Structure 1
Amino acid sequence: MRNTLILLLIALAVGAYVYVYEYKGEEQRQKIKEREEKLIAPEKEEISSWEIYRGGDHYKFVREDGHWRITEPVSTGAEDVTVDGFLRDLTSAKKIRTIHVTGKDKTPYGLKRPEVRIRVEAGAEHDSVFLGASSSFGDNIFAGKGDSVVFLTGAGLKRKAQKSLFDWRDKKALHFEKDAVRRIVLKSPRGAYEFKKAGVSWKLTRPVTDKADPGAVRAMLNKLDYANVLSIEAESAEDKKSYDLDKPAYVIELYQGENQSRSAVAFSAPRGKMAYGKDEARPQIFKVDTLFLEPFNKSLFAFREKKLTDFGTASIRRVTLLNDGVFMEFKKDTSSRWIGVNDTLEARDIKVTTLISAVSGLRAASFVAEKPKSLRRYGLEKPAAVVELFIDDKPEVRLEFGKVHGDRRYVRDALDGRVVTVKEKDLEDILLTHDQMYKTK
């Protein structure tokens, strides 16, 4: 029994040794090996600041509140994705081959006066690497750390280090949280506009009150969120007049969140194919092309929602159509087919369905009057046709059709009173006759 216990203890001790030395030890040795193979010791997430010297250029970067800033040669924001991408390449770069050059001249390796020098800090730890000449061994370069050892590493790292100040810096015209924007105020050569978000939709509140075209609002926000400036023209805005920014042609103000925090950017009138701009919160003056300004250089018509109706086609249960002096009414039966009311003929189900779809897609070609006192001039005092769509007892849609004007026809939305024009060809599936709506015997 005693011998068995001793053997068991020995087996446990051997097992513990194997686990600690072979498994855990191997894991630790692998980590040490991987760290020794790295060109730079710190991990990307550990780096708090770093510098790069390239020719006569010196750039210094500092991490602040999770973002990178350039502190030398100017103080400005850095482009996080560019900096993080380079640091990812730097901290994952490997020593492909080691060459001992004790007492030898480093000139053949391009390391006597290295083209690129990089220094990183990670808390109390710091590390440096020098990038030298290209090697004849594949797509590699020589690199060193200031001692008697030269390494081969991938040439891609050096290529990615060949960036100008503009390449490294933040290129956004304006910083804001797109999803948090609740109000937009725009001044442009076309006029002054104000937009407010109501739920998930946008409304125009100036110069008229109406639904805003969601695509037009989205285009403005996307341009500011995704597009980059072309260049930085001045590090300070002391001379706004030289850039036509003392009296800007465009001013865009974004109000975000419940507290309506404000971000604003101004642009000059175009000079040829270019224009100048300035973020109110930053000193720099930048340049953009005129394509940048297109989403903001729109008419009131372009900013308004052109869609005349907003309903779910499947929710409509009853349709009435007055056209050519004939009144027609249709209801959905229990099998969701359309039937005529008070008519001996069989209704054409597809015609009713198509009519509803056409009304759903009807768009204004122009906005004529909001609530005109007189409808006679539009032929709407006694409409030529009327369409009503019902979900329940109250009409969801009531459109009155007046006289034809060129290739357009006047239409009045009886529920809000405004008069618009629509293209006559868009009414081909709406203004249907009795013969078109019913099957003949």
Structure 2
Amino acid sequence: MKWRHTVVYVIVLALVAGYYYYFEVVKRKEAEEAERASKKVFAVSKEAVQELVIGQKGKEPVELVRTDGAWKIRKPLETEADGAAVESVVSTLVELEKERSVGKVPEDLKPFGLDKPELTLRFRAGEQWHELRLGSPNPAQDSRYATRDQGGDLFLVASGTWGVLNKGLNELRRRELFTFENDQVTRLIVAWDQGAKVELKRLQDGDTWQAPQDPQKKIKASKVENVLDQIRWLRAKDFVDTPGTHRGSGLDHPAVTVTLHLKGGDQRTLQAQEPAAGASVLRALSSELPFVVEVDKDFLEELPRSLHDVEDRSVFTADSDAIAQVEWVLGESKGRVVRLKEGEWGRARQGAEPEQLKESWRVRSLFWEWEDLEYEGKDPKRQKPKDKDLARLVFRDQDGGTLAAFSWKRLPEKDKPETVVVWTDQGEALLVKAEKMEQVEKKLKDLIHAS
């Protein structure tokens, strides 16, 4: 009969567990959701909001409308809006909760700063318009007095929402100057007011760029992509003009005009002036925006002024993944490291197996330094000296074949020259900035100490 008692115990236990789950979990969750719902100021979803009006005290209201899923500013001027900024306002608005109810709305709203609200937000969800009015902070300065729609109560909302909701016209305007993607660009033209011009076109393979005025010159694709990135990432810091004119903005005669030809025949242009002395911004005009804007002045330094700026002047052109051995001579130090497996290197030893490096990443770090190294020019007259004190670095493949080899005179401790001659294994003399070679020597010394 024991099994009958066991069944009874199981049934009782199941009933107790069900009772606990229903009343302690389900009911508690429902109660918490009901409590949160009762605190919400508006019972609408952000997807339902199609129009929004933000009125700051003493300023002209900003009217926005959602059209085909995108927000646009309708008044006080017509332009595109910063979708993320507007969505942030809408999300905060529909999720807004009452911190505490103060009571019925009094006839005299002046003590609460609501006779002339500091901020008024009206929005349409479906066919219904709603309104939120924010007044003065409470004595504790952690909340603000508020009312909503018609009638209702006077309540407090957290002060933290003020910064999100209190947005002016310029904070809601689109700030991106361009919306293209790099792979859409087929031709780039940078024309300077002094006559310098850089023109580049993308070849059919999609990865190679060519200068029509000098087709034999090798163009470094990563440099062109960086220029496109800098243009694409441009954002307005401020708006300084009215639609339809840039008179007096310094853009009647721009310092530089950038033209982008896109797939499908589309075209984009950017005009920019030189920054004023001591200024951190410069004025620019994008063909995608009808207003002159201010952007960071450092952007101008990213634009090429000659083909030299986008030319592939890489000192190191070998495939770093093919490197299996690295040999060096640096002063009294001579050595060799070999690749053990992916990401692991070892110090070569005479008649013994390589000793694994504890810091194999230093080899990769040396590769990165060489991959970024560029020469400023070439000096055909500089012959490689027969000097035993030359520093030397050799990269070999798995079979010991030479992929690349370089020699140079070590940098002096003082009075460093502006450039250093680096000789390739073919005897070509490349002029490299001394500060860059200093970094190379540092990486090599780090590897030597690690091995």
TM-score, with normalisation over the residues of structure 2? 0.65
Map of 1:301-312 to 2, 5 A cutoff? 301-312=308-319
Percent identity (aligned): 19
Aligned residues: 380
Residue 258 (structure 2) pairs with residue 252 (structure 1)? yes
Unaligned 5+ residue runs, structure 2? 1-19, 327-337, 341-345, 350-362, 409-416, 442-451
Please state how far the C-alpha of 1:74 moved relative to its aligned partner: 0.7
Is the Cα–Cα contact under 8 Å of residues 254 and 262 in structure 1 kept in the other structure? Answer: yes
Map of 1:88-237 to 2, 5 A cutoff? 88-101=91-104, 104-137=107-140, 139-145=142-148, 146-178=150-182, 180-181=184-185, 183-188=187-192, 191-194=197-200, 196=202, 203-208=209-214, 209-212=217-220, 214=222, 216-237=223-244
| CA-to-aligned-CA distance 1:330-356 (integer Å, 9 cap, x gap) | xx9x9x9999xxxxxxxxxxxxx99x9
Q: Which amino acid counterpart does residue 254 of structure 1 have in structure 2?
A: L
Please name the residue that 2:343 is paired with: none
Please name the residue that 2:38 is paired with: 36
Please state how far the C-alpha of 1:194 moved relative to its aligned partner: 1.7
Please state how far the C-alpha of 1:295 moved relative to its aligned partner: 0.9
Distance 1:288 1:220, change over 3 A: same
Q: For the residues of structure 2 that align with 1:198 and 1:259, how far apart are their CA atoms?
A: 14
Q: RMSD over aligned Cα, in angstroms?
A: 5.0
SS in 1 for 2:312: coil
| CA-to-aligned-CA distance 1:3-45 (integer Å, 9 cap, x gap) | xxxxxxxxxxxxxxx9999998987776555333212222223
Answer with 290-299 or 88-97: which moved more. 290-299
Q: For the residues of structure 2 that align with 1:160 and 1:424, how far apart are their CA atoms?
A: 50
| CA-to-aligned-CA distance 1:187-214 (integer Å, 9 cap, x gap) | 2355323253787856352554313262
| CA-to-aligned-CA distance 1:250-289 (integer Å, 9 cap, x gap) | 2223345x53643321112333334321111322111234
Residue 98 (structure 2) pairs with residue 57 (structure 1)? no
CA radius of gyration, larger in? 1
Q: Which amino acid counterpart does residue 83 of structure 2 have in structure 1?
A: D
SS in 2 for 1:287: strand
Q: Which amino acid counterpart does residue 212 of structure 1 have in structure 2?
A: K
TM-score, with normalisation over the residues of structure 1? 0.66
SS in 2 for 1:210: coil
Q: Which amino acid counterpart does residue 45 of structure 1 have in structure 2?
A: E
| CA-to-aligned-CA distance 1:164-222 (integer Å, 9 cap, x gap) | 321221222323234654543322355323253787856352554313262x4454334
Is the Cα–Cα contact under 8 Å of residues 198 and 307 in structure 2 kept in the other structure? Answer: no
Q: For the residues of structure 1 that align with 2:42 and 2:92, how far apart are their CA atoms?
A: 10
Please state how far the C-alpha of 1:120 moved relative to its aligned partner: 1.0
Please state how far the C-alpha of 1:72 moved relative to its aligned partner: 0.8
Unaligned 5+ residue runs, structure 1? 1-17, 320-331, 340-352, 370-374, 431-441
Please name the residue that 1:270 is paired with: 275
Q: For the residues of structure 2 that align with 1:230 and 1:406, how far apart are their CA atoms?
A: 37
Q: For the residues of structure 2 that align with 1:107 and 1:337, how far apart are their CA atoms?
A: 80
Q: For the residues of structure 1 that align with 2:368 and 2:110, how far apart are their CA atoms?
A: 78
Distance 1:207 1:141, change over 3 A: same
Distance 1:394 1:24, change over 3 A: closer
Select which of 65, 75, 78 maps to 1:75: 78
| CA-to-aligned-CA distance 1:93-129 (integer Å, 9 cap, x gap) | 1112223336632222222322221111122233111
Q: Which amino acid counterpart does residue 251 of structure 2 have in structure 1?
A: L
